[in-house]
Structure 1
Amino acid sequence: MSTNLLMRITSFHASGTTTAFDGGRTEIWSTPGQGLRLQTTTSQAGKSVDIFCKGGTTYTSAPMLAESLKQSGAADITVPPALADVYVTSKTGQGCDSFYKIPEGAKLAPDHDSSVNGTKTFALTAGNGITSGVYHVAAEGKSYLLKLDSSRGGRSSTTTYDSFGEKFAIKFPAADKTMPMSEFRSRVSGH
């Protein structure tokens, strides 16, 4: 069974650093049928922000979306206090596995083979010039993704995956705490 399929049909937890923000940390919970929750804690006062994903729709906290847009070169966006606990929805056209999926065309990289928490791994590398990653897959037992070393825009991160098959309850934001991207843009641009 392929690692991507195995990860998609198995619940898991992951934690580590992130390339999204300088000095940030991230934690992921994924449960088939429920969806995925990704929590990022920024280095600025340890604030936590979340992204949820289910069925090709992502729910991104408004402050995290504004910070992400700023770091990707967009104008500085001020999130009004009324939107501080609102989640912006967008259809990605991709499954939630896009947050951990090993890209098509990843190549075996024996020079990066190692072990993660005592389990031997083989390595796959993938990159597109902007981002690159080394995916460490269990070489024994089920071929779970055990670790990802990634780099993007001069930042690097390491995420380890664990708790395969454990139960996690993922609570999505209430409907009155969500808004589509078009409404978010309108509210923060004043138009």
Structure 2
Amino acid sequence: MHRSHPALRSIAVTVLLAGAAIGCGGDSDEGSSTDPAPGSDAVSLPADGKSSEGSSASSLIEAVNKTMRTTAFSSVGTSTAFEGASQQTRWNPDQGFSMKVTGTGDFTGGEMYCKDGTSYISTPLLAEMLKEKGTIITVPEEYEDVYVTSETGQGCDAYFAVSPSGTFAPAEDTTIDGEKARAIEVSTAETTDTYFISDKAPNHLLKLKSKRDGITSSTTYTDFGSAKPVQIPAKDSTMPMADFQNAATTG
């Protein structure tokens, strides 16, 4: 008999932690009425690295989030969620978001997708995420190739958006592949994310460096405007979160 567990009853929350698996994730503002007007969404930053009127951290964050939300891109890097793992992501505004995690040792990896606010996470990846949070579950063999679906309540850009709480970190300003990049830092007691944003129009996110619980990661963003395909799992290979809660066992 399958045994329920409090951790499984709140398992949907874990899906929102998938942002940690790619070392990023802020607050989505998809469809926000605060988007800059056409022609005014890019923020050029002064060469001396000092803030000036019209180039505040909040305006730069707003600009880069709009650019990334509306532009196809890819990324490659390491992970703070799974030490030693690597990950690749794709964002296609028309088709959705995908993440592939490649693990080490017993954890071979897994995949996650998001489209129109619905997440699709492979059961091996979901089980490993729970394991990292202290809950061991057993996935029935017949569900090993299944993707668990959950409504996130946010736009899929939440998995790569820069949090509006970010502040300038001028000591970290740098040049990436010949392009000047302004650093924005988002910190909590446990985590530090440093975003490196192009200082010319359009304001792309070029790199992210993260530190969580002593684990560091680095992610590089590329292929801007190159709409690579993102294929959401077919309906017959998915199951709702509630059904997975009933199927999985703990311990």
User: Where on the TM-score scale, by shorter chain, does this alignment land: which range?
Assistant: over 0.9
| CA displacement at 1:155 relative to structure 2 | 1.4
Which residue of 163, 175, 185 maps to 1:115?
175
Separation in 2, partners of 1:77, 1:70: 7
Q: Which moved more, 1:132-141 or 1:38-47?
A: 38-47
Q: Would you say 1:174 and 2:234 are equivalent positions? A: yes
| Residue 41 (structure 1) aligns with | 102
| CA displacement at 1:43 relative to structure 2 | 1.4
Q: Would you say 1:138 and 2:198 are equivalent positions? A: yes
Separation in 1, partners of 2:176, 2:116: 31
Which residue of 99, 102, 106 maps to 2:166?
106
| Residue 147 (structure 1) aligns with | 207
Alignment of 1:71-82 (within 5 A): 71-74=132-135, 76-82=136-142
One-letter code aligned to 1:41? T
| Residue 128 (structure 2) aligns with | 67
Separation in 2, partners of 1:137, 1:35: 22
TM-score of the superposition, structure 2-length normalised? 0.72
Alpha-carbon RMSD: 1.4
- CA 1:119/1:45 → structure 2, altered by over 3 Å: closer, same or farther? farther
Separation in 1, partners of 2:77, 2:107: 15
| Residue 153 (structure 2) aligns with | 93
- CA 1:45/1:70 → structure 2, altered by over 3 Å: closer, same or farther? closer
Separation in 1, partners of 2:146, 2:153: 22
Q: State the number of aligned residues.
A: 189
Separation in 1, partners of 2:213, 2:244: 26
| Residue 91 (structure 2) aligns with | 30
One-letter code aligned to 1:123? A
TM-score of the superposition, structure 1-length normalised? 0.94
Aligned residues with identical type, % of pairs: 39
Separation in 2, partners of 1:80, 1:33: 34
Q: Which moved more, 1:60-69 or 1:130-139?
A: 130-139
Structure with more contact order per residue of length (Cα contacts < 8 Å, sep ≥ 6): 2
Structure 1 gap segments, 5+ residues each: none
Structure 2 gap segments, 5+ residues each: 1-40, 42-62
- Larger-gyration structure (1/2): 2
